Chains A and B, each alone.
Chain A
Amino acid sequence: MVTGILKRGEYFDSVSLMLIAKKISELDIVLDSAAVMGTPENKSMLQTSGLLTDELQNAGDMDLMIAYKCSSQNESDLITQKINEFLKKSGDTAKSSGSLNPSSIESALKILPDANLAMISVAGKYAGDEAMKALQNGLNVMLFSDNVSIEKEIELKNFAMEKGLFVMGPDCGTAIINGVPLAFANVVNRGNIGIVAASGTGLQEVSCLISNSGCGISQAIGTGGRDVKKEVGGIMFLEGIKALAEDKNTEVILLVSKPPADEVIIKIIELVNKIEKPVVGVFLNASIALLKQSKINVAKTLEEGSMLAVALSRGENIETVYNDLESQFSKLQTRAEKESAKLNKTQKYLRALFSGGTFCDETQMFFQNMSEEVFSNTPVGKVKKLKDVWKSEKHTIIDLGDDEFTIGKPHPMIDYSTRNKRILAEADDPETAVILLDIVLGYGSNMDPLAEVIPVIKEVKKMTSQQQTYIPIVCSVTGTEKDPQNRTTVAAALAAEGVLVMESNAAASKLAKFLIEKKR
């Protein structure tokens, strides 16, 4: 007897189809068989072979036909069952995963009952509710997701404060807890400096600079940028300071933020004034008037902040920091002089292309008082807004991590393509005097940044040498030797291509600025 099996609209790649056909033909009770798609031509072939059953008559082009001949109904049932098994198996191979992950925080807690932190990176719309569940279950929260409403943020943080828990974020990209770098973070030394930061890149920069100078980090708490705004009132920033004040492994506290709201600054000062441990603060572009009356050691740049923290942690006089900065100043001046001599008349402007948002702010701070106009897509201070973010004007300082550049794309710390194109465009502009870049290493960032950036640098060199010009490329590399990408390797490779590699974004910005000033 002949049996036909029709599988409508089911697709099997031909490898598994042939495998099935082979398995069918190997069953010794099968006298004849075929497994082919239901094209009219294949049907006529089955007809010729005496295998076309009524059911298969109805097969369409995209249906799978399996026909076989055997001697009894019992055998036929058995074969059909086997075939269904084969088909099922071939469909399953991709899906069968060993164990099942839990679907909720509650079930995850059954597997890891003493978990103490939830990292949440689901869509912002839902992230708030998940964070609340985590808090209700006694977990600290690192909320990587953005687009969480400010009302939700306040609700979460108030609830967490009552329970004595942290809510890092929303939009918190980085933290280092108990020596473990989380999300976008670097592998740094452990030590006695504790950090509270409302700025992701800022936290990465200071923690790396501290680690690279031989000191280390006890804890680094991210709060998300909105925490220090008036509405949230610095709830977690203040909680973070308190926690570090009580932490026995923390001897120096370093605070990093874009300018907090005045109300928040006042609260910070009040709190810090009660703390015994030395406190350093980097509040980029903040008016220093308020801070002057506090016991906070105020630093203007991330670099200065980390140097102050290092000096304090070593029990050194902070005057040494200012001496070091002084000598760095003159070294950079000399270097700038040498470089600017290579520029020609038309080359006048800075083109800074950042993947780290805080760097964009920091560099604007250096350049905002230039005599020529300064533009940015995310202007601060006296800097003006770019008309067209895709086109540079005069001095231009760009944050490529801002929304307009990242729609449908990964963050520029991962995907260098947008910036690479922009670098070439700037190199093609006769007015470009210096290109300023950042490269941020660590977990979460691109694992092979050299493969992304070196070809572009070579291309720039080729372009400029054809035009017999020279454009210096200044670049800071944020990272440590222990990062998976290894800062030393990256810096050396860049230097080998003629890039002026700087320890910090502050130093890189200063060099770029001096270079342009010398030119005049």
Chain B
Amino acid sequence: MNKLFESELKVINIGLKSFKETLDEQKVQSVQVDWKPPLISDSSLFDVIRNNSDKIETANNEAVKRILNSKPFLIGMGKAIDVIPGMKKNLLLHAGPPIAWDKMCGPMKGAVIGALIYEGFAKTYEEAEKVASSGKIEFSPCHEHATVGPMAGIVSPSMPVFILENEEFGNKAFCTMNEGLGKVLRYGAYDESVIERLRWMENVLYPSLKKAIDKIGKIDLKNIIAQALHMGDEVHNRNRAATSLLYRTLAPEIVNQNEKENAISVLNFINSNDHFFLNLSMGVSKVSLDAARNIENSSIVVVMARNGTEFGIQLSGTGDKWFTGVSPIPEALYFTGYTKDDANPDIGDSSITETNGLGGFAIAASPAIVQFVGGSTNDAVNYTLKMYEITEAENNIYKIPYLNFRGTPTGIDVIKVIEKNILPFIDTGVAHKNAGIGQIGAGVLEAPVDPFKKAFIGFTNQLKNS
């Protein structure tokens, strides 16, 4: 029988705040719920979810367990063509969901042009444009090749890539080396200086790093991220600490190599680029989330990615299906001389970090960048706290000092996103809409609604039919 009469009354109040005030006056313990109507009002869909809740819970537990148990290591380097599954001579990988050449935004087109020149498919912009639109070149999302790339995310066959392995599950992931700031390929720049840097990276940086990594054997990246979170990084928009930690790990083996000139330039290159670690934090996220793919009935998000035109997500339980919507323009703080009018819609695979409980989800760990992306420390803490509402678990390794070392919110559940009307929060850089100008601001954004609505509907339909 009901135990209510025998216990002290403790109330959860959903709705009118005055009721909570009355309870406060009477010294009754209570919690106010800030309730919002769900994003989808068709209650028959929620009935489907409710009727399958046990199955979903089991599947989601499994998915999250895999994400948390992943053990990502940096194990080596290689040329894209040699190591990335499905890579071909005439294939270019790009960020975000699938997109055709003519739908690509400025920065992505610019990066494609640059990559074609770099690969020797063309010598000039005009030539490259012709080649790109000729149909001879194929395009495919990085994500469909166990790869991730920031901003335009273009990966071409000759580019050297890092190889990450998830020791727990044996899967691998790949990512390029970060080029630094300014005029760079990932922002769509393709002039000589860009190509020259890419060649230097291929001919000097790559061999040196490869040798160093081979010598070290493997580098525990999860550990580096865990430490970096305690040092003010959220490893999306701020990678200063993680880059430094990686530098400390690599430096002895780089110095140990014969060519002193090269060692100096390699170390300087890493040292001068605070974002050098970004690609690796994305790779870590990718290799961890890929382990949670294809779990039947799981509503956990395993990819959030943008191609500068569309924002797409994938769920563990819906296989390779993309659910997409228009990519939003971030609310950002713009660098002097730029405005929102100059901004490209959100672009890049880097939101894989948020999908993995880092980046915007861990922003409470990174007070240093809060002002940079516009906001107070209080906002940052609230952003992170809010993300616990839509995630399945708290991370076992990534912890936030300010929140009493609470684990970061990990494993976005699309059902929670829809039910609670809370969208994932991403903190990100903003690209100029024209190719090659580079980063023009940094800011925060809510993921768009449409991909999540579509994913929710797709997921429930699949449940209905199973």
Q: Touch between A and B in complex, CB under 8 Å?
A: yes
Chain A CB count within 10 A is highest, among B11, B19, B381, for B11
Taking the nearest CB of chain A, how far is it from the CB of B140, in angstroms?
38
When A96-B376, A112-B30 are in contact, do A105 and B5 touch as well, CB less than 8 Å?
no
Chain A CB count within 10 A is highest, among B28, B29, B336, B375, for B336
When A119-B15, A180-B23 are in contact, do A103 and B5 touch as well, CB less than 8 Å?
no
Cα A127 to Cα B26 with chains together (Å): 25
A206-214, A243-251, A261-269: which lies at the B interface?
A: A243-251
Docked complex: A1-59 residues within 8 A CB-CB of B: 3, 5-6, 8, 55
Check if A369 is an interface residue, CB within 8 A of chain B.
no
> Which of A8, A111, A166, A249 meets B4, CB within 8 Å?
A166
- Contact partners of A6 in chain B: CB under 8 A: 339
Please state if B12 and A134 are interface contacts (CB–CB under 8 Å).
yes
When A117-B12, A145-B15, A180-B26 are in contact, do A101 and B34 touch as well, CB less than 8 Å?
yes
A77-85, A339-347, A389-397, A486-494: which lies at the B interface?
A: A77-85
Q: A89: nearest residue on chain B (CB-CB)? A: B376
Please state if B34 and A103 are interface contacts (CB–CB under 8 Å).
yes
Chain B CB count within 10 A is highest, among A101, A118, A247, for A101
Check if A109 is an interface residue, CB within 8 A of chain B.
yes
When A117-B10, A119-B12 are in contact, do A104 and B4 touch as well, CB less than 8 Å?
no
Check if A116 is an interface residue, CB within 8 A of chain B.
yes
Check if A276 is an interface residue, CB within 8 A of chain B.
no
- Contact partners of B19 in chain A: CB under 8 A: 119, 121, 144, 182-183, 444
Please state if B382 and A115 are interface contacts (CB–CB under 8 Å).
no
Please state if A107 and B388 are interface contacts (CB–CB under 8 Å).
yes
Check if B14 is an interface residue, CB within 8 A of chain A.
yes
> Which of A105, A114, A218 meets B10, CB within 8 Å?
A114
When A84-B333, A182-B19 are in contact, do A119 and B37 touch as well, CB less than 8 Å?
no
Please state if A119 and B375 are interface contacts (CB–CB under 8 Å).
no
Taking the nearest CB of chain B, how far is it from the CB of A135, in angstroms?
12
Cα A270 to Cα B385 with chains together (Å): 52
When A84-B333, A92-B376, A444-B22 are in contact, do A121 and B5 touch as well, CB less than 8 Å?
no
- Contact partners of B37 in chain A: CB under 8 A: 122-123, 125-126
Please state if A107 and B389 are interface contacts (CB–CB under 8 Å).
yes
Please state if B38 and A102 are interface contacts (CB–CB under 8 Å).
no
Cα A105 to Cα B339 with chains together (Å): 41
Docked complex: B382-400 residues within 8 A CB-CB of A: 382, 385-386, 388-389
Chain A contact residues: helix, strand, loop or mixed: mixed
- Contact partners of B18 in chain A: CB under 8 A: 444
When A96-B379, A120-B14 are in contact, do A140 and B420 touch as well, CB less than 8 Å?
no
Please state if A178 and B9 are interface contacts (CB–CB under 8 Å).
yes
Cα A218 to Cα B31 with chains together (Å): 25
- Give the size category of A's interface with B: 35 or more
- Contact partners of B336 in chain A: CB under 8 A: 3, 5, 76-77, 80
Please state if A140 and B12 are interface contacts (CB–CB under 8 Å).
no
Check if B422 is an interface residue, CB within 8 A of chain A.
yes
Taking the nearest CB of chain B, how far is it from the CB of A498, in angstroms?
33
- Contact partners of A116 in chain B: CB under 8 A: 3-4, 7, 9-11
> Which of A88, A101, A115, A218 meets B375, CB within 8 Å?
A88
Please state if B10 and A112 are interface contacts (CB–CB under 8 Å).
yes
Cα A145 to Cα B15 with chains together (Å): 9
Cα A362 to Cα B212 with chains together (Å): 90
Chain A CB count within 10 A is highest, among B14, B30, B41, B43, for B14
Between A and B, 7 residue pairs with Cβ closer than 8 Å are A88-B333, A102-B389, A107-B388, A115-B31, A122-B14, A122-B37, A182-B19
Q: Which chain B residues have a beta carbon within 8 Å of chain A's beta carbons?
A: 1-5, 7-16, 18-19, 22-23, 26, 28-38, 41, 43, 46, 50, 333, 335-337, 339, 371, 374-376, 378-379, 381-382, 385-386, 388-389, 416, 419-420, 422
Question: Given contacts A100-B34, A130-B35, could you give 16 more A-B pairs where the C-beta distance is less than 8 Å?
Answer: A77-B335, A102-B33, A103-B33, A104-B35, A116-B10, A121-B19, A123-B37, A125-B41, A126-B37, A129-B43, A144-B15, A145-B15, A165-B2, A166-B4, A180-B26, A247-B5
